[in-house]
Structure 1
Amino acid sequence: MSVDPSTLIVAVVAAAGAFVQGMDAPPEVKDQATQTLESYSAPTADQQVSDLIAALPEPARAPAQQAVDEVTAAAAAALEPHLPPGALAPPPAPEPEPPAQQGAPPSGPESGLPTAVFLSTPPAYGDDSETGTSTVLQPVPAAFPRASLAPVGAIALFAPWLRKAGSLCDGIKPATLAALYAAENGFRYGPTAPVSSSGALGPGQFMPGTWAIYGRDADDDGKADVLGIADPVMASGHLLCDMHEQIDAWKRQGRVSGDTLDLTIAAYNAGSGAVLRSGGMPSGRPDYENQTKPYVAKIRGSEPSFAHLLAPLIGLPLAAGVGGRVVESAVGYLGLPYVWGGGNVNGPSGGGFDCSGLTSFAIHAATGITLPRTSETQWNIGQEIPMDQARPGDLLFGNWQSGGPGHVAIYIGNGQMIHAPTTGDVVRIADVFPEMKARRIL
């Protein structure tokens, strides 16, 4: 079977994005390249990546193209033997539609779907070894609303709070919240997150009046930040649970009919009053027909994909204290290619990280501590602790050789770690490997 290059878009964009982040170029060049990557769509992926490379300074074009070619070839070689015929066929392109915010006309970025995200078993690993294989499992359809340099990394930052907000009531699950946040603002957060034409803010697209009611300081950082991650996700969870309870009561009273979760999502978009006035799914008005109904269908349709995607991420600990900051620093680079010798306290270099480059960066970003560069020398810093006492932010060492450990990772909790495994792989979350030892640096 042949592998359509568009199917490898996640790997291709990760490679190009990693090179952009690691190259020594003026900010305006990096900004232009980033904007191009963020606007890709699978059907035109090849041309868009080519355009991006052509926009780079002349000395950077050949290395960038090589990075793309290497990742694409490695992904194709790994995928082809393991997938059934037709498994990589791209789905029909979805019709774009404007997302929405609760109680106001929807607006915001249009949507496009990459074709697939692939989950794999933990590969062989090593700081200095370039051997090892990865078994590719059944592809999981992706449901990202738009591209970014590290879409999985962005979602991973939300995952602990999606888990917490998705446990507030029985009717609202993490995958529902993830699908809703994809539709609302593409997981974009922080001061640069787009504001809708009607004034809706942050990744949850909260109108100021709604935020005044539901906005709370969920992560105990001293402020209720509508542009952050924790506070809006928890506010959305509470709002959706309240709507779900209200709509369920209306159904028991015979005032509305329909699937309770469908109606709850419609209420987040158009307001609970629209559900009550319509006796169910809002209908009749152009906004309801052209925006609310497609919005509900889009979220419900993408829930299964987000459930698969969140499965390995949902155990991430809530970022708390310095250990949580170490984890968060590393999680932001999920999907970045492994590069032997890559990375340092300043971030990726040469287009990616190796294992000790990732730990060096994450520890320094969170604490200001500068570690020695290799896994063997990092083993000499801090204090060894029993594995059953490891907590998020501790370093894990393995692949023991005569000179010491050949691999290092960051513990994230629940028996999982984040690491840069080996050549041909990417920064990923994996179960802690046997015979690893823990060391507390902080």
Structure 2
Amino acid sequence: MKLLAQVAAAFVALMLVAFLGIVTLILSEEGAEATETASGTGLRGVPEAFRPWILKAEAECPHPELTGALLAAQLAQESGFNARRGKGGALSDKGAQGPAQFIPSTWATYGYDADNNGESTPWDIGDAVMAQGRFMCSLTGTAKSSGFPGDIRALALAGYNAGWGAVERYRGVPPIEFARRPGKAEGETYHYVRVIMAAIPKYQGPALVTVSGSGAGARAVRKALARLGTPYSWGGGSPQGPGPGFCDGTNGYDKKTGRCSASRTHGFDCSSLVQYAYWGSLKLPRTAAPQYGATSHRPVSRSDLRVGDLLFWSKSGSGAIYHVALYAGDGNVVHAPRTGKNVELVPLTSAMPERDYYGATRP
């Protein structure tokens, strides 16, 4: 009996140690997740017309090496952010056109009507920057899989300037002796890469916001922040990402032209951005008023807001809610504001008219 009691006691002790070990592991994992941090893109020193497109191009590339600051430094070197057409415009002796300096053959591969104005041209800022981002994103992926030594960003830049064939030939950034064409000055690509790499810090601003913590709310805000710069499209967007919208007789029209811009714009409206951000953890309804209805059982006072809370604006009660945003912390919200604007991070106090603020909920 004494032996049985000792065996039983040992078994209980072993199980207790195992249980405590599991608990410790769970707590450690939760603690690790709680320190996870994600930051919005920092960008400075960029003309305002270029800023949303640079942020959008960065957000659409899966390679973290391709940052907004890198794209900005490249645009500065290519054209000095020059989008003028005709005399004084960005046109090289090699036939490269526009702020990102595309030659026609490369433009045919990467160019498209990103700004939905009915024209695909390397002279339009939106078209040019998005094509630049797509080309650089492709080159970054190629550089990462090449196994060539050196900075991935430098390899991609060299491919943009001289063609990837030159990078393959030298198994890296072409040396100073390399000339892109016979009879032309040597070192163009070599210096191109060095100048842009050195200029990146000039355009790297402080992070717009830092989101720390675990849980569905923090994850949703990080996901939404990754879409900064994405155009607003009335009725556009889904849990899978940006998409074209529609016009309903009142909404979705370009105020300057009166044309329906939503149907030609791949983006989000306010509620589709929120739905997209939460979809992996919570399947919210599609529009703002039902989103309020689905979460109104957990109201939150303005003084007790947490990251990921939903904020609503209305003209006259819950049935007239017209806007929703995600609380991003530090008094800021991330939202898709209206036609003609992009997904942005702004103070709560200026996101929408203060008099229309209706309340907040916690999904």
Please report the TM-score for the alignment, with normalisation by the length of structure 1: 0.39
Please report the TM-score for the alignment, with normalisation by the length of structure 2: 0.47
